Structure 1
Amino acid sequence: MNPTIKRTLNQWRNGPYITYSLIAIQTIVFLLNYLLPSLQLQEKGVMFGPFVAYYHQYWRFITPIFLHFGLSHYAINTIVLYFIGQQVEALYGH
């Protein structure tokens, strides 16, 4: 295998790839919500707590992580996730 490719793979494997994956997911969700407002994720009850209790829709605990209300909310959360996520993955692993 090419040494350059091997070094790149090792850097990726040792890097904070979980953090990068979470940033990618939240970026995709933000762009979908921004570019396709007809999805109306917030208005369709994505974060509605009683659905968890009454209908056992436990995925609703995860989806609010990826929803943002505006560009500043998205930007601040992404920056914080980038810096803190790197430190957490360095300390505790992936």
Structure 2
Amino acid sequence: MKADIQRYTLTYILIAASSVVYLFSSLLSQSLIDMDMQVLVDMGALFGPYTVLKGEWWRLLTAMFLHGGMTHLLMNMFSLYLVGRG
């Protein structure tokens, strides 16, 4: 198990980071199931007018850590786990 963690450290770090961001966004949205879209935009979700017109290019990176709901998070983390170990 320890060798497994060492070999796939980046995968586990990304899963942990996404999970922490999800918990934080769920606190702000006051829901563990569905996120408030305005909260996600405020946290850096990919929103065309802000990304292009306001030049907020950092949204291209921060958006990958934001998820619209519990199912979205679980499916993405499961996929990341499978791809990260492949």
Runs (4+) of structure 1 exceeding 6 A deviation are none
* In 2: Cα distance, 1:36 partner to 1:42 partner: 9
- Structure with the bigger RCO (C-alpha within 8 Å, sep 6+) is 1
Identity of matched residues, %: 34
Within 5 A, what are the aligned runs for 1:1-94?
8=2, 11=3, 12-13=5-6, 15-37=7-29, 40-44=38-42, 46-87=45-86
Change (3 A) 1:25 1:70: same
Normalising to structure 2: TM-score of the pair?
0.73
AA aligned opposite 2:58:
W
Q: Which runs of 5+ in 2 are unaligned?
A: 31-35
Q: Which runs of 5+ in 1 are unaligned?
A: 1-7, 88-94
Alpha-carbon RMSD across the aligned residues, in angstroms, is: 2.2
Shift of 1:76: 0.8
Equivalenced residues, count:
77
